[in-house]
Amino acid sequence: MRTLWILGLLALSAPGQQQQQQRAAAQPPAQPSVASAKPTFTSSSNLVIVDVTVKDKSGKTIDELKPEDFAVFEDGKRQKVEVFQHQSLSLDPEPPEAPPSLGDQNELPEAPKTTITAATPGKIQYHDKRLMVMFFDFSNMGVPEQLRAQEASLKFLDKQMTPSDMVAILLFTTAIQVKTDFTADRNTLTTIIKELPIGEASDMADAADTGDDNEEDTGAAFVADETEFNIFNTDRKLAAIEEAVRKLAALPEKKALVYITGGISKTGIENQAQLEASINAAVKANVAIYPIDARGLMGDPPGGGASKGASRGAGIFNGSALNAQRASINDSQETLATLAADTGGKVFLDSNDLSLGLQQVQQEFRSYYTLGYYTTNSKEDGKYRKILVKLNNTLSAKLEFRDGYYANKVWGKFNGVEKEQQLKEALAAADPLTDLPLALEVDYFRISPSAYFVPVSVRVPGSVLALAAKKAGAETEFDFVGQIQDERKAVVGNVQDYIKVKLDPGEAQKLARRNIHYDAGFTLAPGRYRMKFLVREAQSGHMGTFDARFVVPDLAADSKTLKTSSVVWSSQREPLKAVVGEAERPLNRRGAQTNPLIVGQEKVVPNITKVFRRDQNMYISFDVYDALPDPNNYKLRSVAVSMSLYNQKGAKAFEAGPLKATELAVTRPNAVPVQLQVPLKGLAPGRYTCQINVIDEIGRKFAFPRTAMVVQ
């Protein structure tokens, strides 16, 4: 049974909200000409820009090449170079500016432009200019890192900025802010840097806490496993990079995005789709990313310094704490290195003089050629096209350029067969689609000694759907395509649904504040799996991809701890009749009993992002397995369950229970279902650790599943 639901207002922290691709409408000129001094670019979706750096054997740039010296190929076919420009950039620092005169001091400075403006048709906006973007990600930095980044930027502007430099400043806290467009005015840039909101968003800079024995002992009984919560935080940060490079895409020149951050903690393949989407957007926009780790040189002593608690386990003695500490730092820098390597930039790590990272950009952007051609392949199929640039002469040189790009896609021109083919190609493509932000959760419940029911929940915010702009009676269709592979890359599960959604009067206008929730279920054996899921909305053709790895554990082995299923945290229960689209026939009675997420005539809707409102109830659902029977009644069990909420200081903020679960599930062998309902009214807004305390009173085993959550 696979169903589609429209849910009420929820706070959704999805992998990121993406901007629609911008395409110019003008056609290429009938008789384009090649200019070597002041070329003109004609805006066209067929125009492809390639920035080429040419170096000799010693690493020095080669200047004075002409258009006829280059040969450009796309997918092996020779392309005619229509646009040619040589950018020669200075490395000599600009002398300090003279102090303003008395009259100038009384004049108000001109307000900075807070949008990235593109060149007007027929003109080159920046000639012989080095375009640098200082992108401050305050959501990844604590206060010390923010201050260090501010100091390094001011040093660069004061002593290292050259006459060729044009600098733009972007800031990301909860959203991207363009503080200024590209400018060479050091006074304006200095003023903006000095006015950065130090301290803002610094509470989001903590790395994911896995809750293992090597983690800091805060004094609480247990800490949250924030892995899932941080997946969406990470996607949000990567999506911000994608949005930033899209703002720069309209400029044909080569751009350097200096990403100043405190590292990006990535839990694994969960972020792969958004990471690849951000990289591909940068490559297509001619943007090289130069990440700078604002934490500088980190020399934490084993077990941490005096600013944090000691390790709670034996890791400080056996070396595992030190290994985990180093691995955490390496993991936060690995994503930065990937962003740099795959976009043609360089990463700057482990140095307290961050201004050297900015100088590194200057050294890389010394001299390059901008080549433009109108591709002979006019198909807007979204496929990858490989670019090759060669020199026609016998000169021995090393050429650096992007190796390809993804073509645009036009949904309205696809027929039925092409739409079907698009889904298949998109599912297997190396270029993830992020027009629709998705949140996905995979859980597991044991239904036999060797088989597990694996519910998959997918959520799409209604605000990004074209359907939201329609009136009563609006109708659209969703395509849901998913594939599960095992460790041998064999396909062990598929889903492909086409669900029509027609809203009742008044529902379409409310969709902007609601979410589309889709669920499917699979039966799998214990093991490690990878799921790739794709959603497409029919009206706009927008698609979103989610790529995740998950594990179905083998609970058959004996264990000293109490065995449980996944714990499903939810903020809503929807009546079964609330389904707005079905891929199969209605769920029968036995199917409802088998599905652990169906309680009576209601469906438990997982809160994937663990963000709750204070006017909601929190529903907690899971199974307890193999609890010992009551000696007086073999059909009964004695499982005590309670729930505790801890605030960020480790203090207990709320407690519910204990209650007793004694009945066995009808269709799941030796499973005791547990259902908790906890009102959140009265809780202060903030981040909490939700811990479930589960005790088999007869078998004397226990489990403490936990997660991080946010109350708004």
Task: Look at residue 8 in the predicted model and tell me its pLDDT.
Answer: 47
pLDDT recorded at residue 299: 66
CA trace torsion 139, 140, 145, 148 (10° rounding): -70
In this prediction, residue 224 carries a pLDDT of 36
- DSSP letter at 511 equals G
What was the pLDDT predicted at 217? 42
DSSP, res 61: B
Judged against a pLDDT cut of 50, whether residue 39 lies above it is answered with: no
b/e sequence 555-570, b meaning 16+ C-beta within 10 Å: beeeeeebbbbbbbbb
pLDDT at 561 over 70: yes
pLDDT for residue 417 is more than 50: yes
Q: Please write the tens of the pLDDT for every residue from 370-379.
A: 888 888 888 7
pLDDT at 447 over 70: yes
User: pTM higher than 0.85 for the full model?
Assistant: no
pLDDT, tens only, 146-198: 898 999 999 999 888 888 888 999 999 878 889 999 998 888 999 999 999 88
Q: Who has greater pLDDT, 43 or 295?
A: 295
How confident is the model over 625-670, as pLDDT tens digits? 998 998 888 888 899 999 998 888 888 888 888 888 888 888 888 8
Tokens at residue 203, please? 């509470």
Summarize pLDDT for 55-88 with one digit per residue, the tens.
888 888 888 888 889 999 999 999 998 888 888 8
Q: Give, as one character, the DSSP assignment of residue 698.
A: T
The residue with tokens 């990471």 is: 275
CA–CA distance, 691 with 394 (Å, rounded to integer) = 69
Are 70 and 78 in contact by the 8 Å Cβ rule? The answer is: no
Contact 355, 155 (CB under 8 A): yes
For the chain, what's the residue count? 712
List pLDDT tens digits, range 40-58.
434 445 778 888 888 888 8
- Residue 237 pLDDT > 70: yes
Q: Two tokens at 105?
A: 């001091």
Q: Which domains does the chain have, with CATH numbers?
A: 3-19+414-711 (2.60.40.770), 47-89+369-407 (no CATH), 131-299+311-365 (3.40.50.410)
DSSP strand E in 262-366: where?
287-293
Q: How confident is the model at residue 321 (pLDDT cuts 50, 70, 90)?
A: low
CA distance 478 to 538: 6
| Confidence at residue 33, expressed as pLDDT on a 0 to 100 scale | 40
How far, CA to CA in Å, does 456 sit from each of 207, 343, 517, 569?
27, 34, 11, 14
Half-sphere exposure of 66 (CA within 13 A, CB side): 2
User: Hey, what long-range contacts does 448-451 have (CB within 8 A, 24 or more apart)?
Assistant: 448/669, 449/556, 449/669, 450/525, 450/526, 450/556, 451/523, 451/524, 451/525
Question: According to DSSP H, which parts of 526-650 are helical?
Answer: 589-594
Provide, rounded to the nearest whole percent, the portion of the chain with pLDDT above 70. 71
Query: For 156, what's the count of Cα atoms within 13 Å in the CB-facing half-sphere?
Result: 26
Read off the tokens for 51. 């920035």
Quick check: 23 pLDDT over 80?
A: no
Within a 10 A sphere around the Cβ of 352, how many other Cβ atoms?
11
pLDDT at residue 483 above 90? no
CA gyration radius for the chain? 28
Give yes or no for a contact between 622 and 671, defined as CB atoms under 8 angstroms apart: no
Q: Is 198 exposed, middle or buried (0-12, 13-18, 19+ CB in 10 A)?
A: middle
Alpha carbon distance 191, 188 (integer Å): 5
- Which token pair is 550? 């998950």
